[in-house]
Amino acid sequence: MTTCLNWAIYHTILMSITKSGQKYLSHLNQIHTRVANRILNLSTTNKGIYLKLGQYLGNLDKVVPWEFTKVLGVLQDSAPPIDYEDIKTVIEEDLGLKPKEIFELFNKNSIAAASLAQVHKAKLVTGQTVAVKIQYPFLRSQSSWDLWVLSHIINLCNYLMIKNDYKEVDLLKIFNTWTSTLVEELDFEREVANAEATRLLFKGHPHLAIPKFYEDYCSQRLIVMDFM
């Protein structure tokens, strides 16, 4: 629906205006802003990889209109968290333990939330203060379907752009690059391994600190590390 509405705006309004002059530029600015706000609403409503895609588009300042980067830029700093009761299932499913068996204290209010996960401050039963990064539980079941839907939307948008002689941007190439990165980011064990590799590479460096990871409590969807 969002794709259809956005295309209708570009097609019906811009096609009726001469593609030159201040009037055209003014209309183009307004339309880019309206479309960007629709994408923002779609990203924050559906969350997950839609939020990740919104963040990605907001970073493509060399590709997308500047109105997109301005509107979608709000997604870079924060994302709406989900309730603790909905996210604690990741701990229980991945570790086979109740949170109270692992943590002496657990702050149910997240201290940070992003597109794929949120972070809580906690204290292990062994006494260490830790940061707990938990992937949103719906991503595993939802991401494959969402990527399938998005690939068809991108293919349609690419076709419409080429049909209307706008060939400067290859949306499918951008989407495929983003997808390959996303698949890696969904595996938190890869993140832990990369951090440990970085620790070895910069061993003894006075200006770099990498937290300790508690690998018994880490999984593809969960990271427990020293709070820094």
Give CA separation, 191 vs 11, 16, 197, 198, 202, in Å: 43, 50, 10, 11, 17
The DSSP secondary-structure symbol of 188 reads H
pLDDT value, residue 61? 75
pLDDT value, residue 174? 81
Q: Which residue matches tokens 């949103």?
A: 136
How many whole angstroms separate alpha carbon 161 and alpha carbon 157? 6
CA–centroid distance for 216 within its chain: 26
Which pLDDT band, with edges at 50, 70 and 90, does 162 fall under? low
Can you tell me the mean pLDDT for 151-167?
70
How many whole angstroms separate alpha carbon 42 and alpha carbon 46? 6
pLDDT value, residue 152? 82
The DSSP secondary-structure symbol of 198 reads H
The neighbour count for residue 121, using CB atoms within 10 Å, is 16
- Give the residue, 162 or 189, on which the prediction is more confident: 189
Q: 226 and 209 in contact (C-beta within 8 Å)?
A: no
- Span 169-211, pLDDT tens digits: 677 788 888 888 888 888 999 999 999 999 999 988 989 999 9
Considering the chain, what percentage of its residues have pLDDT values greater than 90? 36
Backbone angles phi, psi at 77, to 5 degrees: -90, -35
Residue type present at position 177: T
Mean of all residue pLDDT scores within the chain: 83
Can you give the residue ranges of every domain in the chain? Answer: 1-78, 81-228
Prediction pTM value: 0.74
Q: Which of 191, 181, 183 is nearest to 219 (CA)?
A: 191
pLDDT value, residue 136? 92
